């Protein structure tokens, strides 16, 4: 299998935001992940982009004008002025107002939006934005630590060029915001694997939520019980996705890789290892469909960093060492300092083989109700959201006295045979005639 072209989107500032003391959502995890990606040398095999920042206009393609206007205006300093709006927009404890809130939303949303554009123009096979994946945000309000639904906005961009877009969600929480946005259409199929029952947030995602009107049977939910392990998860994930591909035949996929489905997550209750979680990513990668990969939940920072670093290596099809490289955050990974620590969990797997087989059969029976994959009549393709991106402007304004600009350095992908790392840097490869 030929290696795919991967575009990786990262803003150096996105990890500096802080939801507040004691809040489980830590944007700082993004800085830790990026440090691992750099120190493993994975950046050499990808196109690295400092992403576009989404405007209020971009966000209003899905969200209401008054909600986005509120996000732009509210700050911790003027909170008293907007007190009456907080409950209206569901902003408060779970979704606090913090310094730079709109900038944070602009960064993670812009990265997903630009990733969708790169896929639309065949500039890459896979786009990666670990800062995105905030799947709970609704049209009129924040929800579940999510303010702007970057996934919905990216899918809308993909729909300009793609007749059918598949959304897959492996977060421990149901992808309710994305499902709700596309519940009535047959051009987007949403597939969510999540914990359901016992009032687990957000309380939606029953297997009988299947879509409505034109979208009937285009919402697929796989409600799971606590403690599911790698073997059980793969037992249900692979056949469901195979059936979805067979019946829906998407031309683009968005994969939300929420890492709160890992064992020992602060808010989750599943028992997946990084390898089990990664197997889902590998499986979707091998479908050979243009793929936008985004982050999502994940509240035990060291495990999120391990997981998404490993999955970055899978997306570029590079093997990396189990021993973590030295980074400024190495002490976070004590005492083992490994990429794949033993997943020790005291959570018993409540998902029987029979229960999982029943779910797969239910999904299959519903998908059979789709007579054929929906067609889309010919139409003019709307203008791109970013008529002139920052990258284009950078090229226009490039310093003629600099041989390799920062932009060129970011985009550079080094061939596998370019050099040896470490002590063998100048040595001849004994297995070939290369010097």
> Which residues are documented as binding site for substrate?
94, 144, 299
Half-sphere exposure at residue 15, Cβ-oriented, CA atoms within 13 angstroms: 15
* Contact yes or no for 152/181 (Cβ under 8 A): yes
Contacts of 77 (CB under 8 A, 6+ apart): none
* Contact yes or no for 179/139 (Cβ under 8 A): no
Q: Among residues 34, 63, 135, 136, which one is catalytic?
A: 136
Tokens standing for residue 36: 């691992």
Tell me the C-alpha distance between 35 and 153, whole Å. Answer: 28
SS3 343: coil
Closest CA to 177 of 157, 199, 205, 196: 205
Closest CA to 224 of 198, 251, 199, 196: 196
Contacts of 105 (CB under 8 A, 6+ apart): 54, 59, 71, 147, 148
User: Alpha helix (H) ranges present in 220-300?
Assistant: 230-248, 274-285
* Contact yes or no for 152/113 (Cβ under 8 A): no
Closest CA to 223 of 198, 255, 187: 198
Strands in 272-389 per DSSP E: 291-294
Rg (CA), the chain: 22
**136 catalytically annotated:** yes
Strands in 209-306 per DSSP E: 219-224, 252-256, 291-294
* Contact yes or no for 368/245 (Cβ under 8 A): no
Active site residues: 136
């Amino acid at each position: 299998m030929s290696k795919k072209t991967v575009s990786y989107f990262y803003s150096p500032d996105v990890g500096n935001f802080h939801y507040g003391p004691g809040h489980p959502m830590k944007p700082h995890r993004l800085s830790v992940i990026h440090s691992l990606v750099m120190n493993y040398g994975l950046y050499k095999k990808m196109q690295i982009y400092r992403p576009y920042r989404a405007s209020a206009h971009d966000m209003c393609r899905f969200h209401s004008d008054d909600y986005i206007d509120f996000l732009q205006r509210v700050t911790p300093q003027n909170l008293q002025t907007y007190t009456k709006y907080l409950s209206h927009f569901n902003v408060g404890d779970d979704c606090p107002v913090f310094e730079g809130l709109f900038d944070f939303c602009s960064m993670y949303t812009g990265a997903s939006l630009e990733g969708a554009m790169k896929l639309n123009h065949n500039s890459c096979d896979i786009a990666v934005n670990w800062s995105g994946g905030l799947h709970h945000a609704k049209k009129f309000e924040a929800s579940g630590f999510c303010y702007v639904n970057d996934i919905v906005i990216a899918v809308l961009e993909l729909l300009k060029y793609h007749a059918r877009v598949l959304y897959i969600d492996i977060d421990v929480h149901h992808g309710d915001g994305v499902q709700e946005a596309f519940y009535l259409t047959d051009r987007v199929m949403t597939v969510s694997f999540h914990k359901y029952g016992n009032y687990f947030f957000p309380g939606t995602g029953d297997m009988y939520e299947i879509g409505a009107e034109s979208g009937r049977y285009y919402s697929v939910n796989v409600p799971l019980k606590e403690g599911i392990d790698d073997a059980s998860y793969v037992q249900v994930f692979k056949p469901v996705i195979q059936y979805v591909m067979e019946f829906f035949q998407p031309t683009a996929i968005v994969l939300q890789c929420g890492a709160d489905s890992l064992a020992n997550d602060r808010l989750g209750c599943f028992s997946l290892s990084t390898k089990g979680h990664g197997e889902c990513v590998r499986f979707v990668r091998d479908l050979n469909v243009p793929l936008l990969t985004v982050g999502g939940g994940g509240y035990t920072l060291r495990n999120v960093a391990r997981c998404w670093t490993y999955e970055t290596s899978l997306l570029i099809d590079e093997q990396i060492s189990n021993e973590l490289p030295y980074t400024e955050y190495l002490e976070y990974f004590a005492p083992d300092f490994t990429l794949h620590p033993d997943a020790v969990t005291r959570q018993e797997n409540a998902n029987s083989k029979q229960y999982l087989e029943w779910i797969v059969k239910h999904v299959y029976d519903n998908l059979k109700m789709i007579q054929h994959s929906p067609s889309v009549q010919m139409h003019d393709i709307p203008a791109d959201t970013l008529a002139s991106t920052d990258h284009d402007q950078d090229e226009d304004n490039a310093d003629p006295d600099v041989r390799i600009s920062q932009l060129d350095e970011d985009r550079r992908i080094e061939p596998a045979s370019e050099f040896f790392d470490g002590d063998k840097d100048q040595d001849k490869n004994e297995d070939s005639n290369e010097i």
